[in-house]
Structure 1
Amino acid sequence: MKTQKLMIKLFLAIIFISVVSSCSEDYLKENPTSFIDATRLVVDEAGAELYLVGAYDAVQESVSSGTGAKSNLGWGVHWGTMATDEVVVPGWAGDRKLIFLQQVTPNNATVRNMWVNLFVNLNKVNSVVDRISALTEDQIDIARRDEMIGEAKFLRATIYFAIVSTWENVPLIKNETKDLKNIDMPAQSTPQEVYDFIVEDLKFAESNLEAKQGGGRATKGAAQALLGKVYLQMTGHPLNQSDKFALAEAELLKVINSGVYSLLPNYPEVFDLNNEQSSEMVFSIGMDGPGSNEGGILSSFYGPLGFVSNGAGFGTCWVNATSVTKYDANDIRLLNNIAKHNANQASPEEGMNDPSTWGNTDWQWKPWKWHASKPNAYTNDTPFDNPYIRYADVLLMYAEALNGQSGKLTQAHVDATINTLRARAALPASNNLDIAGKNQTQIADEILDERYRELFIEGWRRNDLIRFGKYESTIKAINQSGWTTSGNPGSNYQDYEIRWPIPDPEIKLNPNLVQNPGYN
């Protein structure tokens, strides 16, 4: 029992004394080799800047694909992709198989580890917000202080958005927990309360950050784009607040009108190592590998058949066969996102562009996006930054926000958003979306399909399906056979599984937590 109590205290109250490590950009190169007492460190701008690095590290560890030793705990991979129609999972995939098959229980170890990882890293970011907020004008320029706080609050919003999307009914912990001996066991807040807190953080960030491409740092545009995404999510389950479409429209239009962001001319370039922080990246989570324990798993978790050293993937999942049918045969995104070749036989460029290297059956096809070099020594320590919000996503969200308001979306809007993306994908004008005669529901379906094609395996699919009210029907429609899949999830799905269970060990440790409906 003492051990269990210590675990919950550590989970809720790990003191952030910063093993502050580096991300991929120069400003995050500080890598202290010893523990630093935050009370002694955060006394001026230099100390605050170093401490802020840890908040980025916290997001790197938890929200994206995970990093270093925690590369298998990433929220975007497990919640956003594994339990959707983007991939199928083989029988040897352990907890990922159960996530794919909609057989998650309160004792699923991966789900529990993700919960702990997110809340531990939340406490790190809470520490950054609290300690930098305590600095006075004698210690730091107030405008610079508030800018740092804005960055940290943006990062906190990414963590809480992941938490509330996944479990809905969660503790709302607004400040750092320091005292390991006298700790209040938090009860859950409503999803509305958590979303309101996220919105509050993002509005502060928007007001205090600069409008620029941040090279891995949070900016005004990143805060506006995430706020637009959060507002859109509030239009769907569990809040179903249609008034948020207009609020999302306003935030996303600010990003579009800022002049800071633009699409890269060629879709494959977006995911090239040379363009990790391009004009298309509104916010991208930095990774640095191999060899520094700061890499992620992109390009190795997903990738072709073959040896990882030749640019292949681990064999952790296969592409859902229906994914191919969502693309026009000439869509460059099909060639970039789905590997039909074997990495041992072809380089990424050859594999993408030479049909003679392609396998002719779906068991030979793998999800693909970040094309690892051949040869490489990445394994599970890859250098590819993790796109969090791209400008392409902003354009699609803007179209969605307009379509959510009756009569607001025009053909000109569609041409500037959806059809612009189709043109970049090398599709002819005959493939453009013409909304004449289409109702809101039909257009929404077109937008959802376009999000699938454009944002494939970037971690947003489950949130999209839930928001559009399509999650249950999509899961029940998955129908793929063969050795590449552990089965089909449709027969297992129950409506309460739209959210995940609160991990049972956490409920035992904290009697104020109540299990989500259906999982008792």
Structure 2
Amino acid sequence: MTASCSLDRFPETTFSDQEFWNTESDLRFAANRLYQQLDGFELDNRGDDNVNQTVNLTSNGAWSIPSTSANWSDPYKMIFTANNILIKGEKASLSEDIKNRYFAEAKFFRAYAYFQLIQRYGDVPFLTKTLDFNSPELNMPRTPKAEIAKQLYEDLDYAKDWLPTMKSIPAADYGRVSKSTAQALKGRIGLFLGTYAKYHGGSDAQTHLQQAVDGSSYVMQQGHQLLADYSKLFNQEGEGPSNSENIFVKIYGVDASNVILAHNYSRDLENGRVAMTRNFIRQYLYADGLPAYNERNELKAKRSSFYVAEGAEASYNEVLDNRDPRLGLTVFRAGEQAYKGTWTPTTTLGSRTAYATKKGFNIPDWQTSGSGTTDKILIRYAEVLLNYAEAQFELNGSISDDDLNKSINLLRARVGMNVSLSNAFVTTNQLSMLEEIRRERNVELAFEGFRYPDIIRWKLAEHALTQTLLGAKYNATDWVGADIKNLNLNADQILIVEDKSTRRFDPSKDYLYPVPLNEISLSGGAVVQNPNWK
């Protein structure tokens, strides 16, 4: 959907006009509302991969039960819109093929919204109809997420049957969902629920993991390609139908003179206001394909020969040297052209770690505040490949070199990481295949909103979110505007951003969000609070 589609003209959520719901244009117009309701750019500091200028309430013990929350209400607004289309669209005197195309869009978005809810809250009320003030479903209790998931898989298979292929969507309709979008979402849902069940004591892990493999495999047969230049994925050069890596995006506009919506993401990144932690830098491989730290941020006994002990680092850049090229595409090096000039390590301009984010920073978007038009990537083919590899391993306890070559090793080759992942390499170097698959996911999808849900489903949050968060190595010759007396440094002169003594994660409750109090009240108590939230 390009700017010429006038996506800024959306109908109201409720359609009462008796002349509506008759034509294909009506259904299309109604479906446009779903695209407008998609989440845009946000600064996600819930994990251990980055910090922004505010402290993470999840891991500092200040997370409390809200009265209301958009995390709950916004997905239900999308669900209402989708159900409205599915119910009222039936009256349209159109062929079944046309109606089913837009019903497929509605079912996709309904699945997308319900996944957001069950990812955060677990069991939630499951509605397939619209409600009014007298609807008995207002007092509906929470539906088991396994039951919801079963319907989501069915809806996404329906969407696969009735949506067009991505290649057949006209350029003017770029951004509308396709068969690939539906099955990629099925893969994402299956992987999350399958691994969550596996590591949190559930009983249906295999069923979900098979859905993840099936959905991802389907997309891998649709002719998608990785964009050759990783760095161009996140600016205007990577936009449009010629880039088949982008499977689902929220469209903002062509440029500052042709805008549907606008955002301020590049300005938000300025001067390291969203900054990678050293904890996460430790997860990047060295140029020889070997790590120094495991997924719990513990220094490995057998590690890369390129590793330099943190106390011995001679400069700010040394920890960034000889690494997976994606590290250099994600954070700025000292002396590299950045925001208003070259990046110089400091904590005085906004970065709490003294690192500054490169990935997603876009000069045209940055030049005028509030005028960013780079599209928000919601699903890309790289994620599908990672979902496939992880689901295959979790399902079977192993993965073939052939499957690694058509997934993870494609991602490495794209950025010039010349060491492939193979079973022999893992065995020879005493690595864990599962950890290396997860590591690849962390690195490829850094700062794209995956780290927190990943450590939740892997049941690693209770470890990752209670560790000291570290920043850059202080070196007086590299840094400017920093008084060492005002810096909290460890024995290796590494910046302590948040000490573990201040960080909290209660595994008895924090793996799920608290249900907003108003939702419990509005349900007449039928919706109950998540365990141990008081």
Q: State the TM-score bracket (shorter-chain normalisation).
A: 0.7 to 0.9
Q: Aligned residue pairs: how many?
A: 452
Question: Is structure 2 residue 440 aligned with structure 1 residue 450?
Answer: yes
Question: Is structure 2 residue 245 aligned with structure 1 residue 245?
Answer: no
Identity rate, percent: 21
Give 1:281's aligned amino acid: N
Question: Is structure 2 residue 101 aligned with structure 1 residue 113?
Answer: no
Please name the residue that 1:283 is paired with: 248
Task: For residue 284 of structure 1, give the secondary structure of its aligned residue in structure 2.
Answer: strand
Aligned mates of 2:86, 2:371 — CA distance in 1: 29
Q: Provide the alpha-carbon RMSD of the alignment.
A: 3.1
Please name the residue that 1:10 is paired with: none
User: Aligned pair in 2 of structure 1 residues 513, 405: CA closer, same or farther (>3 Å)?
Assistant: closer
How much has 1:29 moved relative to structure 2?
A: 3.4
Aligned mates of 1:265, 1:198 — CA distance in 2: 33
Alignment match of 1:83 (pick from 27, 42, 46): 46
How much has 1:338 moved relative to structure 2?
A: 1.9
User: Aligned pair in 2 of structure 1 residues 503, 411: CA closer, same or farther (>3 Å)?
Assistant: same
Question: Is structure 2 residue 133 aligned with structure 1 residue 180?
Answer: yes
Correspondence 1:200-215 to 2 at 5 A: 200-213=154-167, 215=174
Correspondence 1:24-423 to 2 at 5 A: 25-29=3-7, 31=9, 37-58=16-37, 60=38, 63-65=39-41, 77=43, 81-90=44-53, 93=54, 97-107=56-66, 112-132=69-89, 134-136=90-92, 139-177=93-131, 179-180=132-133, 184-213=138-167, 215-238=174-197, 239=202, 241-259=205-223, 261-277=224-240, 278-288=243-253, 294-301=261-268, 303-305=269-271, 315=273, 317-327=274-284, 328=286, 329=321, 330-340=323-333, 346-347=337-338, 357-359=343-345, 363-373=353-363, 376=366, 378-406=368-396, 409-423=399-413
Deviation per CA, 1:235-274, whole angstroms, max 9, x where unpaired?
A: 1224451233233222211111121x10011100111213
How much has 1:32 moved relative to structure 2?
A: 5.7
Give 2:218's aligned amino acid: K
User: Aligned pair in 2 of structure 1 residues 57, 489: CA closer, same or farther (>3 Å)?
Assistant: farther
- Whether the 8 Å contact between 1:480 and 1:488 is mirrored in structure 2 is no
- The 10-residue stretch of structure 1 (229-238 or 96-105) with the greater mean CA deviation from structure 2: 96-105
How much has 1:370 moved relative to structure 2?
A: 1.6
Correspondence 1:427-466 to 2 at 5 A: 427-429=417-419, 432-436=420-424, 438=426, 442-466=432-456
- Whether the 8 Å contact between 1:82 and 1:99 is mirrored in structure 2 is no
How much has 1:180 moved relative to structure 2?
A: 3.4
Aligned mates of 1:488, 1:39 — CA distance in 2: 60
How much has 1:394 moved relative to structure 2?
A: 0.9
How much has 1:403 moved relative to structure 2?
A: 1.0
How much has 1:500 moved relative to structure 2?
A: 0.6
- Whether the 8 Å contact between 1:338 and 1:365 is mirrored in structure 2 is yes
Aligned mates of 1:374, 1:146 — CA distance in 2: 40
Aligned mates of 2:187, 2:145 — CA distance in 1: 17
Please name the residue that 1:480 is paired with: 470
How much has 1:438 moved relative to structure 2?
A: 4.7
Aligned mates of 2:86, 2:263 — CA distance in 1: 26
Task: For residue 249 of structure 2, give the secondary structure of its aligned residue in structure 1.
Answer: strand
- Whether the 8 Å contact between 1:84 and 1:475 is mirrored in structure 2 is yes
User: Aligned pair in 2 of structure 1 residues 220, 378: CA closer, same or farther (>3 Å)?
Assistant: farther
Aligned mates of 2:229, 2:113 — CA distance in 1: 31
Task: For residue 171 of structure 1, give the secondary structure of its aligned residue in structure 2.
Answer: coil
How much has 1:159 moved relative to structure 2?
A: 0.9
How much has 1:406 moved relative to structure 2?
A: 2.8
Give 1:44's aligned amino acid: T
Deviation per CA, 1:322-341, whole angstroms, max 9, x where unpaired?
A: 22222244433212222346
Aligned mates of 1:248, 1:438 — CA distance in 2: 24
Give 2:166's aligned amino acid: K
User: Aligned pair in 2 of structure 1 residues 449, 255: CA closer, same or farther (>3 Å)?
Assistant: same
Aligned mates of 1:196, 1:490 — CA distance in 2: 40
- Whether the 8 Å contact between 1:477 and 1:490 is mirrored in structure 2 is no
Task: For residue 514 of structure 2, give the secondary structure of its aligned residue in structure 1.
Answer: coil
How much has 1:145 moved relative to structure 2?
A: 0.9
Give 1:433's aligned amino acid: L
- Whether the 8 Å contact between 2:34 and 2:82 is mirrored in structure 1 is yes
Aligned mates of 2:12, 2:190 — CA distance in 1: 41
- Whether the 8 Å contact between 2:111 and 2:156 is mirrored in structure 1 is yes
How much has 1:84 moved relative to structure 2?
A: 0.8
Task: Point out where structure 2 has 5 or more consecutive residues left out of the alignment.
Answer: 287-320, 472-486, 489-495
- Whether the 8 Å contact between 1:236 and 1:469 is mirrored in structure 2 is no
Task: For residue 382 of structure 1, give the secondary structure of its aligned residue in structure 2.
Answer: coil
Please name the residue that 2:289 is paired with: none
Give 2:110's aligned amino acid: R
Give 1:282's aligned amino acid: I
TM-score (norm 1): 0.78
